[in-house]
Amino acid sequence: MEDTIGAPRQLTAQLLDTAVRYAQERHWDVLPGSWIEDDTGGPAVCSCASPTCPAPGAHPTRPDWAAHAGGSADAVRRMWGKQPRASVLLPTGRTFDAIDVPEVAGCLALARMERMDLPLGPVICTPDRRLVFFVLPGATVKVPDLLRKLGWAPGSLDLRVRGEGDWIAAPPTRTGPGASVQWARQPTALNRWLPDVEELLSPLAYACGRELAAARGR
């Protein structure tokens, strides 16, 4: 699933095509979100019109969004037919949870996981310099105890678990001029089976701990 950035019309077609592929090929629920109204080089203006929007172009547009995510190609086409510029959001806590860490820590952990030949699912890289690792559902329940066993108090690390009631923005969502969500590791047939969070948490916590120590030393 390559990400390309082109003219607005090309992006609109890509949003629909990619959302359909997520539903068809990965069996992920998909949700249309807000979008960027002004992408001409100035500050990102979200379609929600809030001047203090915390996630321009990348959040649900209605409070009951969880009930409106679709998992079929026909449902996705209907949703994007109503708003073709909508961003592509993936609800977590359904077919996957997500572990969200700073980009530097995430890259360090990813390199270590690859050396250890650990099973890896897709990984997203966000414009605000975060890496998001896909894991099996249930991570929100497991992570606090797992962190304690590794010697970390829950909440002490910049490691966020996204599960039921949350979402992540997926490629090719744009969050501002020249800023788009991208795949660090694309979804493929080889990573269709996601790892359990227990398999990945140790290298992720280690890398986040190193970042925390480095920040304290600066």
- The string of pLDDT tens digits covering residues 120-134 is 999 999 999 999 999
Is pLDDT at 34 greater than 90 in this prediction? yes
Q: Are 172 and 91 in contact (CB under 8 A)?
A: no
Is pLDDT at 165 greater than 90 in this prediction? yes
- pLDDT at 9 (0 to 100): 59
The pTM assigned to this predicted structure is: 0.91
**Measuring CA to CA, which residue among 79, 31, 33 is closest to residue 57?**
33
Q: Are 139 and 97 in contact (CB under 8 A)?
A: yes
The order of strands in the sheet holding 160-162 is 160-162, 97-102, 130-135, 123-125, 182-185
Beta strands at 97-102 and 36-38: parallel, antiparallel or unpaired:
unpaired
Proportion of the chain above pLDDT 70, given as a percent: 93
CA–CA distance, 75 with 69 (Å, rounded to integer): 9
Q: How far is CA 2 from CA 14, 18, 58, 181, 209, in A?
A: 10, 9, 19, 12, 32
Q: Are 126 and 58 in contact (CB under 8 A)?
A: no
For 39-48, 56-65, 92-101, which range has the lowest pLDDT when averaged over its residues? 39-48
- pLDDT at 40 (0 to 100): 62
Is pLDDT at 80 greater than 50 in this prediction? yes
**CA dihedral in degrees (110, 113, 145, 150; nearest 10)?**
-100
Q: How far is CA 170 from CA 18, 43, 125, 161, 215, in A?
A: 9, 21, 9, 16, 29
- pLDDT at 214 (0 to 100): 82
Confidence of residue 7 (pLDDT cuts 50, 70, 90): very low
Instruction: Compute the mean pLDDT over every residue in the chain, rounded to the nearest whole number.
Output: 91
Q: What is the mean pLDDT of residues 197-213?
A: 95
- pLDDT at 3 (0 to 100): 38
Domain segments of the chain: what residues? 8-217
For 8-22, 56-70, 105-119, 126-140, which range has the lowest pLDDT when averaged over its residues? 8-22
Q: What is the mean pLDDT of residues 164-171?
A: 97
Helix/strand/coil for 166:
coil
Residue ranges of the alpha helices (H) in the chain? 8-26, 73-82, 103-115, 139-149, 197-217
- pLDDT at 39 (0 to 100): 59
Confidence of residue 41 (pLDDT cuts 50, 70, 90): low
